[in-house]
Amino acid sequence: MNAPRLLRDRIDSFPTHNIAGYGVRPGRSGPFGATLVPGGVNFAVYAGNATSVSVVLYKLGESDPTAEIAIPTDFRIGRVWAVTVFGLEYEDLEYGFRVYGPENAGINDRYDPTVVLSDPYAKVLGGREEWGKLPDYDRQYQHRSRLAFEDFDWEGDRPLRLPNEDMVVYEAHVRGLTRHPSSGVANPGTYAGLVEKIPYLQRLGVNCVELLPVFEFDEFGNSRLNTDTGEMLLNFWGYNTVGFFAPKAGYAATSRFGMQGDEFKNMVKALHAAGIEVMLDVVFNHTAEGNELGPNISFRGLDNQTYYMMTPDGYYFNFSGTGNTVNSNNPITRDFIVSCLRYWASEYHIDGFRFDLAAVLDRDENGVPLGNPPLIQALAHDPILRDCKLVAEAWDAGGLYQVGSFPNYHRWSEWNGKYRDTIRKFLKGDEGMIGELATRIAGSPDLYKGRGARASINFVTCHDGFTLADMVAYNDKHNEANGENNNDGANDNNSWNHGAEGPTDNPEIARIRDRQMKNAMLLLMTSRGVPMMLSGDEVGRTQKGNNNAYCQDSELSWFDWSQVDTNAELLEFASNVIAFRQAHPVLRGAHHPNSIDPSDCGHPEVSWHGTRAWQPDWSPGSRVLGIMWCGHHLDIDASPDYVYVVANSHWDSHDIELPVVDPGFVWHLFADTAQENAGACVLGDEEPLSNPNWYTVSPRSVVALVARPVS
Amino acid sequence: MKTRKRMVGEVAVIALSGGLDSNSAAEIRDKVTGQLADHEHVVVDFSGVTCVSSASIRAMLLIYRQAQALDRTVAVVGLSPEVRNVLAATGFLHFFVVAGSVTDAVTAVADQKGVNQLERATSVA
């Protein structure tokens, strides 16, 4: 076979200079970071007001550098220092930058040439390959930049582009999902381990996993001993990014071989093949470099005052509550963030991003909220990110609360904290919740008018706060294991223990807790908007009342897979209600439902009811709401689809008069959370009610009915 | 690192021994891809390999890619549990016909039908 002659040699693939024993030539100013080029590696780094920059080269894993290449000032274009270095053993290479600041450096500069800096664009970072292994702090260079090959074989994989409103999101922690000895996977706590649980996710019916931070972080950042137990508390959640372009090495079974990128991509590919999207929880509001006392890892030593919000007297603004605040609307920082997300969308086929403390990203360099934040706008309109979901956690630790008002450009959706609060308050029987409950179930038109229900990410629980099982078993947080005298974590949980704090032998309390978990699931899966559930809630995962398990790399956080058997009934309920949602498009409409009847079918898209049909009781003492969904308005040609949900948070049962729908249609029971040992049936097995006009809804329970022609 | 080639019928069997670092990985890659030009079926025997590096895993992937381009089949034998695990965790294992012994590997690559069956089996696993 005669291969066509390809142009492989460029005349610029030869050195022009020799520095520190290496052939080099003036580099290309972009892309930033280290790039494989014919015969060598191109390094390009933006370094603020630096007077001199060196590339420091290491042989893989060695403490001392093999060479240090001072980039000639002539090689600098603008503020970007670039050099192409030839003859590098790039498979065994680690590199960093040494940056010298000007003599007249300002109060907000942090140049420090004694430190070797990580490349903020590094695609692979060494130094924390094995999760939880105590780092060698004698090594000068901790988070070691490496090159990636980026030649993964995707075999035709494409992002799934599921419509927002069709998603059922499962918020999970890569390590926590399979680290427990009960997981039974070959590589516990890894990306590869998650792949082995895909059949479980499919059985549950979720179609999007939202992963807690997976960018390289240091689990030893702020690690400490629990004074009571002597146990080392690591940063388990990872909301302290060290490298934004590098996947967390300690989550890979293959990090010893530097193949975490391939392992991560294989996970994405396998999830996509199973019809499951991948959303990443990304943390751009702060970094692992901390405050005045924090270490120089990368940004600080490159151009501190560009990347961080600084006070005039040299301190770090702290809108993130974690020490520093990324200056995200600075054009240079903004470009960094946009490039990073483009990289994950294109190189890793990521389907969406959830932005931690996104309200921080609305602030200017002094922390003032902007009406038209350039970063948020740039992400909304970015051509590469156009099909990615963009989800804001629309608040921050500086008191900016933007649920319903986050600048959205018709692109952004939000974690709906008000949905969570309303459902929780309703379930524990608070007064005066019926009106707001209806608003939340309808997709929060008060918050998202003009944006549609698809802008509302509905959730009752997430990694922050109680698990579902703990929400119904504890009145108060129990965070003693975090070693901060129970002072950390939220105090405002809207939870209720139902008569005993924590585990109980009382079967009545256990029954009502089980029912309340099902109530929450059924309401979540029959609300307009995008439901998100917390991993493990479907099997009653407990954190023993800990509502802030960020430092618990232990059985407190890990998914205990024995619960799949011990709580099989709850799992079956969860999977049945998810299937129910997917079977009834009217529950998933992208828009807010009309309460008029524009297509004149006799019923509005949603209608509200009380104990009497068509008579909702909005009074403060009311604890019963009937919701009828009519699918006719979504698709006039489809056979009529009616769903009736009754939510009762009262301590008494109520006889509910059911609305009459089309002639020949009768109500069939899909779910009644008060029914023992089942609660919800498999789709298609719904039985007609014995009394077609009335149903008795038990205390503190939720019922779902469907109308079908009499068989 | 040493390589030894022998023919079993139409099948070229290349046995490796010693440590596989980035230098020897390039050598192996060149040797095996050289064999692919001349032989339709190649078996690579890793039983004698004492330690591996990331470079050697990349060499395997490059061999796979070359074989795919030339429409050749490559079977591997004697993978250490660690290498096998790395290939499984990255999803690369199903690129290769993995056999328990040289005899099985020779049979598998020589019998096209067998190859397909084995490939299917590893893809499903």
Contacting B residues, span 3-42, partner chain A, CB-CB under 8 Å: 22
Residue A337 near residue A375 (C-beta atoms within 8 A): yes
Q: Which of A89, A91, A266 lies at the smallest CB-CB distance from B54?
A: A91
What is residue B125's predicted lDDT score, i.e. its pLDDT? 34
Strands A124-126 and B11-18: unpaired
Contact B84/A at CB under 8 A: no
Residue among B22, B70, B89 whose CB faces A263 most closely:
B89
In this predicted structure, what is the pLDDT of residue A679? 72
> Chain B partners of A253 at a C-beta cutoff of 8 Å?
85-86, 89
pLDDT of amino acid B7: 92
The reply to whether residue A254 touches residue B53, judged by beta carbons under 8 angstroms, is: no
- The pLDDT score that the predictor gives to residue A192 is 98
In Å, how far are A347, A497, B58 from A193, measured between CA atoms? 21, 34, 22
* Residue A204 in tokens: 């549950």
Question: By C-alpha distance, which of A279, A254, A463 is closest to A355?
Answer: A279
> Which SS3 state, helix, strand or coil, does residue A52 take?
strand
Name, in order, each residue with C-beta under 8 angstroms of A139's C-beta and a sequence gap of 6 or more: A63, A127
Taking contacts as CB-CB distances below 8 angstroms, the residues of chain B near A191 are 89
Residue A121 is predicted with a pLDDT of 98
| pLDDT at res. B116 | 47
Torsion, Cα of A35, A36, A37, A40 (10° steps): 110
Compute the distance between CA of residue A489 and CA of residue A543 in angstroms, rounded to an integer: 13
**pLDDT tens digits for B39-81?**
989 999 999 888 878 877 888 888 888 888 888 888 999 998 9
Chain B residue with minimum CA distance to A270: B91
The answer to whether B90 faces chain A, any CB pair under 8 Å, is yes
Tokens of A604: 């509005």
Lowest pLDDT segment from A157-171, A500-514, A664-678: A664-678
pLDDT at B88: 94
Residue B123 belongs to what H/E stretch? helix B112-124
Among residues A393, A414, A538, A553, the one annotated as catalytic is A393
Q: Say which range, A170-174, A413-417, A420-424, B41-45, has the weakest mean pLDDT.
A: B41-45
Question: Are the Cβ atoms of A259 and B90 closer than 8 angstroms?
Answer: yes
> How far apart, in Å, are the Cα atoms of A42 and each of A12, A71, A194, A364, A686?
12, 12, 35, 33, 64
Answer whether B55 sits within 8 Å of A254, measured CB to CB.
no
Q: Residue B110 has which token pair?
A: 């020589």
**DSSP per-residue string spanning A681-700:** PPTT-PEEPSSTTEEEEPTT
Q: Among B86, B87, B93, B96, pick the best mutation site for testing chain A contact (most A Cβ within 10 A).
A: B86
Which entry of A210, A277, A281, A356 is annotated as an active-site residue? A356
Residues in chain B with CB shorter than 8 Å from the CB of A263 are 89-90
Residue B101, chain A, CB below 8 Å: the answer is no
pLDDT digits (tens, 9 = 90+) for A360-408: 999 999 999 999 999 999 999 999 999 999 999 999 999 999 999 999 9
On chain B, the residues whose CB falls within 8 A of the CB of A92 are 22, 55
Among the residues of A449-588, which ranges form H helices? 468-471, 507-525, 563-566, 568-583
- The more confidently predicted of residues A595 and A14 is A14
C-beta separation of A644 from A607 below 8 A: no
Residue A150 has pLDDT above 70, yes or no: yes
The reported pLDDT for the residue numbered B1 is 78
Q: Where are the beta strands (DSSP E) in A248-399?
A: 277-282, 352-355, 389-392
pTM assigned to the model: 0.95
pLDDT given at position A8: 56
Half-sphere exposure of A128 (CA within 13 A, CB side): 25
| Better-predicted residue by pLDDT, A541 or B46 | A541
* CB neighbour list of residue A89: distance below 8 Å, 6 or more residues apart: A59, B22
What residues of B are in contact with residue A257 (Cβ under 8 Å)? 53-54, 57, 86
Concerning whether A652 is annotated as a catalytic residue, the answer is no
Is any Cβ of chain A less than 8 angstroms from the Cβ of B92? yes
Would you say A604 and A595 are in contact if contact means Cβ atoms under 8 Å apart? Answer: yes
How many C-beta atoms surround the C-beta of residue A239 within 10 A?
A: 22
* Nearest CA-CA distance, residue B73 and chain A, Å: 17
Contacts of B26 in chain A (CB under 8 A): none
DSSP string, A159-205: -----GGG--EEEE-HHHHH-SGGG--SSTTSHHHHHHTHHHHHHHT
Whether the pLDDT of residue B122 is over 50: the answer is no
Which residue bears the tokens 């949980």?
A493
Per-position b or e across A242-279, b if 16+ CB within 10 A of its CB: bbbbbbbbbbbbbbebbbbbbbbbbbbbbbbeeebbbb
Burial class of A4 by CB neighbour count within 10 A (0 to 12, 13 to 18, 19+): exposed
* Residue A673 reports pLDDT greater than 50: yes
Distance CA B13, CA A462 (A): 55
d(CA A227, CA B97): 53
Q: Do the chains contact at A91 and B90, CB–CB below 8 Å?
A: no
Residue B113 has pLDDT above 50, yes or no: no
Amino acid letter, B39: H
From A186, A258, A270, residue closest to B54, measured CB to CB: A258
Max mean pLDDT among A227-241, A283-297, B111-125 falls in A283-297
**CA gap A495, A493 in Å, rounded:** 5
How far apart, in whole angstroms, are the C-alpha atoms of residue A183 and residue A196? 9
* Full set of structural domains in chain B with CATH: 2-124 (3.30.750.24)
d(CA B48, CA B80): 10
Tokens of residue A566, six digits: 């011990």
Q: How many CA atoms lie within 13 A of A437 on its CB side?
A: 34
**Which of A2, A257, A272 is the best mutation test for B, with the most CBs of B within 10 A?**
A257
Taking the Cβ of residue B68 and every Cβ of chain A, the question of whether any pair is shorter than 8 Å is answered with no
Residues of B within 8 A of A186 (CB-CB) are 85, 88-89
A548, A476 in Cβ contact below 8 A?
A: no
Tell me, what's the pLDDT at A6? 53
- The reply to whether residue A257 touches residue B54, judged by beta carbons under 8 angstroms, is yes
Across residues A217-230, what is the average pLDDT? 86
Reported ipTM: 0.88
Total beta-carbon pairs less than 8 A apart between chain A and chain B: 51
In three-state secondary structure terms, A491 is: coil
Average pLDDT score, chain A: 95
> Which of A91, A92, A253 is closest, CB to CB, to B89?
A253
For residue A102, say if its preceding peptide bond is cis, omega within 30 degrees of 0. no
Dist. CA A379–CA A651, nearest whole Å:
48
Tens of pLDDT, residue by residue over A547-561, are 999 999 999 999 999
Cβ-Cβ contacts under 8 Å, A149 against chain B: 58
Distance of alpha carbon A633 from alpha carbon A598, whole angstroms: 8
pLDDT of residue A19: 98
Quick: pLDDT tens for A99-131: 999 999 999 999 999 999 999 999 999 999 999
Distance from CA of A273 to the nearest CA of B (A): 13
How many whole angstroms separate alpha carbon A168 and alpha carbon A8? 48
Q: Would you call B89 an interface residue with chain A, using a CB distance cutoff of 8 Å?
A: yes
The H helix count followed by the E strand count for chain A is 14, 31
B-chain residues near A89 (CB < 8 A): 22
Q: Out of A89, A91, A254, whose CB is closest to B90? A: A254
CB of B1 less than 8 A from some CB of A: no
3-state helix, strand, coil in chain A (%, to 5): 25, 20, 55
Indicate yes or no: CB of A266 within 8 angstroms of CB of B90: yes
- Contact by Cβ (8 Å): A380, A411: yes
Which of these ranges, A227-241, A313-327, A379-393, A496-510, has the smallest mean pLDDT? A227-241
- Looking at CA atoms only, how far is residue A191 from chain B in angstroms? 8
Q: Is the Cα torsion angle A308, A309, A315, A318 positive or negative in sign?
A: negative
Over the stretch A66-79, which tens digit does the pLDDT of each residue have?
A: 999 999 999 999 99
Does the pLDDT value for residue A644 go beyond 90?
yes
For the question of residue A393 being annotated catalytic, the response is yes
Residue of B nearest to A258 (CA): B54
